[in-house]
Amino acid sequence: MSPRSSARPTASRAGTASVGAPKGGTGPRPELRRGFEVLDQLLSLVKGQADARFYEDRWVTLRCANSRLYQPHAESVASLSLRVAVEGGQLGVATTTDLTSQGLKRVAEEATSLARVAPPVRGFPGFPSDPGGPTAEVPFAPRAEREDLEGLGDQLAGAFAIIEEGLGPSRISGVYNQGTSVVAVANTSGLRRGYRRSAAQASLLAEQPQKDPPVSGWSEGTHWDPEKVDLLSLAKEAVAATPRTAPRPAKPGKYRVLLMGPAVSELTGHLTWLGLGANAVEEGWSFLVKGQGKRLVAPAFELSDDPFSPHGVPAAVDYEGLPHRSRPIFRQGKAEGPAHDSITGARAERESTRNALPPEAPYGELGPLPLHLTMRAGDRSRDELVKDLKQGILVTRFWYVRSVHPGKTIITGMTRDGTYWVDKGEVQHPIRNLRFTESILRTLAGVESVGERLRGYGDERAFSAHVLAPIVSRSFTFTSATTF
Partner 1 sequence: MRYLGPRRFERFSVKNGTAEALTSSSEAGIGVRVLRERGWGFAAASEASLAAARETAKRAERLARAAEKTSRESVPFAEERELPRGGRYESPMKEDPFSVTTEAKIALLKEAEARLHTHASVKAGKAALTLWQEEKWYLSNEGASYRAKITHVGAGVEATAVGEGEVQRRSYPNSFGGDFAQAGFEFLRGLDLPSHAEECGKTAHALLTAPACPKGEMDLVLASDQLALQVHESVGHATELDRVLAFEAGFAGTSFVSVSELGKLRYGSPAMTIEADATCPGGLGTFAWDDEGVPGRRYPLVREGVLTGFLSSRETAARVGLPESGGTARADGWARTPLIRMTNVNLAPGERSRGELLEGVKEGVYMETNRSWSIDDKRLNFQFGCEVGRSIKNGELGGLLRNTIYSGMTPTFWNSLVATSDRSTWHLWGLPNCGKGQPGQVGHVGHGAPLGLFRKVRVGGGP
User: What residues from 443 to 472 belong to the interface with partner 1 (CB under 8 A)?
Assistant: 460-461
Contacts of residue 231, defined as CB under 8 A and 6 or more positions apart, other chains included, come to 155, 156, 158, 159, 176, 202, 204
Name the amino acid, one letter, at 405. H
The residue count for binding partner 1 (CB under 8 A) is: 92
Nearer to partner 1 by Cβ, of 365 and 379: the residue is 365
List 7, 77, 232, 246, residue binding partner 1 (CB under 8 A): 77
Distance of alpha carbon 84 from the chain centroid: 28
Instruction: Decide: is 359 part of the binding site for partner 1 (CB under 8 A).
Output: yes
Q: Which of 75, 87, 423, 426 binds partner 1 (CB under 8 A)?
A: 75
Selected binder of partner 1 within 6, 101, 142, 149 (CB under 8 A):
149
DSSP string, 261-330: HHHHHHHHHHHHHTTSBHHHHHTT-STHHHHBTSB-S-TT--EEE-TT-TTS---SB-TTSPBP--EEEE
Stretch that binds partner 1, among 225-233, 278-286, 325-333, 370-378 (CB under 8 A): 278-286
Please report, as residue ranges, which positions from 167 to 226 form the binding site for partner 1 (by CB under 8 A). Answer: 171, 173-175, 177, 203, 205, 207, 209
What's phi and psi for 234, nearest 5 deg?
A: -65, -35
Pick 8 or 401: Cβ nearer partner 1: 401
Minimum distance, C-beta of residue 143 to partner 1, in the bound complex (Å): 17
**Using CB under 8 A, which of 138, 156, 258, 440 touches partner 1?**
156
| Span from 1-9, 144-152, 260-268, 381-389 in contact with partner 1 (CB under 8 A) | 144-152
Residues 98 to 117 in contact with partner 1, rule: CB under 8 A: 98, 106-107, 110-111, 113-115, 117
Q: Does residue 157 touch partner 1 according to CB under 8 A?
A: yes
16 to 10, 185, 201: CA distances (angstroms): 11, 20, 20
Site for partner 1 (CB under 8 A): which residue of 36, 59, 319, 420?
59
Assess 400 for contact with partner 1 (CB under 8 A). Answer: yes
User: Considering the complex, what minimum distance in angstroms separates the CB of residue 436 from partner 1?
Assistant: 10
**Binding test (CB under 8 A) with partner 1, winner from 7, 10, 70, 391:** 70
Confirm or reject binding of residue 138 to partner 1 (CB under 8 A).
Answer: no
Of 7, 27, 48, 74, the residue at the interface with partner 1 (CB under 8 A) is 74
Stretch that binds partner 1, among 7-15, 89-97, 180-188, 302-310 (CB under 8 A): 89-97
Minimal distance, residue 183 CB to partner 1, in Å: 16
Query: Please, which residue, 134 or 151, has the CB nearer to partner 1?
Result: 151
CB of 326 vs partner 1, minimal distance in Å: 28
What CA–CA distance (Å, rounded) separates 48 from 53?
A: 17
Q: Which of 95, 135, 352, 473 binds partner 1 (CB under 8 A)?
A: 95
Give whole-number Cα distances, 113 to 116, 127, 178, in Å. 5, 19, 38
Shortest Cβ 395–partner 1 spacing (Å): 14
- For the bound state, the minimum distance from the C-beta of residue 266 to partner 1, rounded and expressed in Å, comes to 11
Q: Between vectors from CA 479 to CA 276 and to CA 255, what angle results, nearest 5°? A: 80
- Is beta strand 447-450 parallel, antiparallel or unpaired with respect to 373-375? unpaired
Q: Which of 47, 73, 244, 295 is close enough to bind partner 1 by CB under 8 A?
A: 73
Q: Smallest gap, in angstroms, from Cβ of residue 138 to partner 1? A: 23
Kindly tell me which residue out of 9, 45, 121, 326 binds partner 1, with binding defined by CB under 8 A.
121
Judged by beta carbon, residue 421 or residue 463, the one nearer partner 1 is 463
Residue 385 C-beta: closest distance to partner 1, Å: 26
- Burial grade of 18 (CB within 10 A; 0-12, 13-18, 19 or more): buried
Q: Are the C-beta atoms of residues 49 and 124 closer than 8 Å to each other?
A: no
> Buried b / exposed e across 48-65, counting CB within 10 Å, b at 16+?
ebbbbbbbbebbbbbebe
Distance (Å, whole) CA 370 – CA 178? 23
What is the C-alpha to C-alpha distance for residues 8 and 326, in angstroms, rounded to an integer?
A: 10
Pick between residue 49 and residue 374 the one whose CB is nearest to partner 1: 49
3-state SS, 16-76, equals CEECCCCCCCCCCCHHHHHHHHHHHHHHHCCCCEEEEEEEEEEEEEEEEECCEECCCEEEE
Q: Please count the residues of the chain.
A: 484
Of the residues 405, 423, 426, 428, which one makes contact with partner 1 according to CB under 8 A: 405
Instruction: Among 169, 245, 284, 379, indicate the residue that binds partner 1 (CB under 8 A).
Output: 284
Q: Round to whole Å and give the CA distance between 422 and 51.
A: 54
By CB under 8 A, tell whether 45 contacts partner 1: no
Shortest Å, Cβ 342 to partner 1: 16
Rounded Cα gap, residues 295 and 66, in angstroms:
47
